[in-house]
A and B are shown apart, each in its own frame.
Chain A
């Protein structure tokens, strides 16, 4: 199997996002593979091993994303492609991924269910529409039998078992696999694995960020005495007006 795993390079989920001059000031933050993408990567490595296939990791991003890409190589991807561009929106990113997929004909393209910066949940659907192949999301289990995949997909209030042949796109989430931590050997070999840098294809600008805003902090939490829960009920009725 030829597998493509698309990862986004995002601030660590524990980080508060600092703002400067109305923009997120990400310079001092630690960056990681987005959590859902990390689940997808873990399963991709297992499927590569199972099928004796090849796993390519793809990231659309500038040079600073290379440490994150190397981490994916250390976890087990065989080689990497970096599209050298700012990932301005989902349409831009999806266009780049679809372009590379057309040239390389992957059997499956795995992504996260959504990134943790844009939170668009759009890239996988766009890639599938551009390539004319099916997309399953959120994919919580993915097994292969020949070229037929069996997946669990979450639906509101439950789940579905679905089957489909390759090629496809799957937007993954836990518990598809356990997050993997690179071992020493992985870290060493990652340094010499091929990382190809390619130029982006031209895209018309579909969306543009005009400004950022930080959510207003909540007013001080009103503490209610544990012995007087009726008071909470009153407050929810007359003050918050939510019940």
Chain B
């Protein structure tokens, strides 16, 4: 069983989530582990995390999801890949179901663990906005998975991947990009090992300096609750929860967020949750591992100081 992994890269390097996807592929492959990456992507890490081979395609601008789907489907056929793996991302979440249709594959998104082969090809995924998990059997011969962060432990294999070039036939997309506004250099919410989020308890956008300072100290991404992005205190892409981004970092720090069920839906698969809230009865404490009852304006600067000393 060959496995194909689509690699998203940033500034010439594979995204961390893409390396996780390679590690996942290496764990489950019974044949070749093939990574599909643009020709300007560094290949060393792909081999190191388990790719036997890197297929390189020439890039010409940004690809639409439909074009990624064409590229991936052609590579999967050329490489006889039975399983195609994507790391969860906005683009990949759309490309994966499209690849599924092209290949006649069973598709599963938000996969959180390695497949259980004892029952066929069964994957565990989160449903009901994180309120439950389900095991899903993928019946078709081919499978397409998008995996969530932390679905597999990353182990370095120290391999060197063979590099081959690949020239797919890609159709032009009717979607024209007119303008892009993107903050670069920040750690992406979905990629971050640590996320620090602020809620309405912070009273106004002018108070986010201390949240950013804390996040910087922890090498964390910043997030927020829905009302905070609704009021434009923070950009929409930072909004975490049922109707926002779903994160599964190692550490989630929630400051001045009450812990409404819709917010929890976006964070419940975090490994460790820390809640700082001045109300001891805030529901978030019930979903947390560590809590501090107190005023954020007092605690956050002190916490940042303590972290600076300790790290």
Q: Residues of A at under 8 Å CB distance from B?
A: 11, 13-14, 16-17, 19, 24, 35-36, 90-91, 94, 116-126, 128-130, 134-138, 140, 150, 154-165, 168, 171, 173-175, 204-215, 218-219, 221-226, 229-230, 232-237, 240, 242-243
Other A-B contacts than A159-B237, A206-B140, A229-B292, 8 sampled, CB-CB below 8 A, are A129-B100, A158-B181, A164-B175, A209-B137, A213-B132, A215-B130, A226-B293, A236-B290
Instruction: For the complex, give the distance between the alpha carbons of A159 and B178 in Å.
Output: 11
Residues A174 and B243 in contact, CB atoms below 8 Å apart: yes
B205 to chain A, nearest CB (A): 17
Closest residue of chain A to B191 (Cβ to Cβ) is A156
7 residue pairs A–B, Cβ–Cβ below 8 Å: A35-B242, A116-B128, A121-B109, A140-B236, A158-B180, A212-B127, A214-B131
Residues B94 and A137 in contact, CB atoms below 8 Å apart: yes
B6 to chain A, nearest CB (A): 14
Residues A242 and B250 in contact, CB atoms below 8 Å apart: yes
Q: How large is the interface on B (under 10, 10 to 19, 20 to 34, 35 or more residues)?
A: 35 or more
Instruction: For the complex, give the distance between the alpha carbons of A52 and B138 in Å.
Output: 44
Q: Name the segment of B29-37, B47-55, B76-84, B281-289 touching the other chain.
A: B281-289
A17: which B residues are within 8 A, CB to CB? 128, 131-132
B262 within 8 A of A: yes
Closest 3 CB pairs of A and B: A226-B294, A158-B182, A125-B97
Whether A162 touches B136, Cβ cut-off 8 Å, given contacts A215-B130, A221-B289, is no
B189: which A residues are within 8 A, CB to CB? 156
Residues A118 and B127 in contact, CB atoms below 8 Å apart: yes
Residues A164 and B242 in contact, CB atoms below 8 Å apart: no
B59 within 8 A of A: no
Instruction: For the complex, give the distance between the alpha carbons of A162 and B293 in Å.
Output: 45
Q: Name the segment of B20-28, B151-159, B266-274 touching the other chain.
A: B266-274
B292: which A residues are within 8 A, CB to CB? 223-226, 229, 232
Closest residue of chain B to A122 (Cβ to Cβ) is B97
Residues A155 and B136 in contact, CB atoms below 8 Å apart: no
Q: Name the segment of B38-46, B160-168, B300-308 touching the other chain.
A: B300-308
A42 to chain B, nearest CB (A): 13
A209: which B residues are within 8 A, CB to CB? 134-137
B86 to chain A, nearest CB (A): 12
Residues A229 and B272 in contact, CB atoms below 8 Å apart: no
Q: Residues of B at under 8 Å CB distance from A?
A: 64-66, 69, 89-91, 93-98, 100-102, 105-110, 119, 122, 124, 126-140, 173-184, 186, 188-191, 193-194, 218, 230, 235-237, 242-243, 250-251, 261-262, 265, 268-269, 271-275, 285-295, 298-299, 302-303, 306-307, 309-311
Which residue in B119, B124, B139, B178 is a CB contact (below 8 Å) of A163?
B178
Which residue in A19, A116, A117, A134 is a CB contact (below 8 Å) of B66?
A134
Residues B139 and A157 in contact, CB atoms below 8 Å apart: no
A232: which B residues are within 8 A, CB to CB? 274, 290, 292, 303, 306
Closest residue of chain B to A156 (Cβ to Cβ) is B188
Whether A13 touches B242, Cβ cut-off 8 Å, given contacts A24-B132, A222-B290, A240-B289, is yes
Closest residue of chain A to B173 (Cβ to Cβ) is A134
Chain B CB count within 10 A is highest, among A138, A156, A159, A232, for A156
A217 to chain B, nearest CB (A): 9
Instruction: For the complex, give the distance between the alpha carbons of A168 and B175 in Å.
Output: 10
Whether A157 touches B299, Cβ cut-off 8 Å, given contacts A13-B129, A162-B176, is no
Residues A156 and B89 in contact, CB atoms below 8 Å apart: yes
A234: which B residues are within 8 A, CB to CB? 310
Instruction: For the complex, give the distance between the alpha carbons of A162 and B174 in Å.
Output: 10
A102 to chain B, nearest CB (A): 14
A35: which B residues are within 8 A, CB to CB? 242-243
Closest residue of chain A to B241 (Cβ to Cβ) is A13
Residues B310 and A237 in contact, CB atoms below 8 Å apart: yes
B292 to chain A, nearest CB (A): 5
Residues B289 and A218 in contact, CB atoms below 8 Å apart: yes
A233: which B residues are within 8 A, CB to CB? 303, 306-307, 310
Residues B186 and A157 in contact, CB atoms below 8 Å apart: yes
Whether A90 touches B97, Cβ cut-off 8 Å, given contacts A156-B237, A160-B180, A232-B274, is yes
Whether A122 touches B96, Cβ cut-off 8 Å, given contacts A213-B135, A230-B306, is yes
Which residue in B126, B135, B193 is a CB contact (below 8 Å) of A211?
B135
A135: which B residues are within 8 A, CB to CB? 65-66, 94, 98
Residues A221 and B290 in contact, CB atoms below 8 Å apart: yes
Residues B237 and A158 in contact, CB atoms below 8 Å apart: yes
Residues A156 and B190 in contact, CB atoms below 8 Å apart: yes
Chain B CB count within 10 A is highest, among A205, A215, A242, for A242
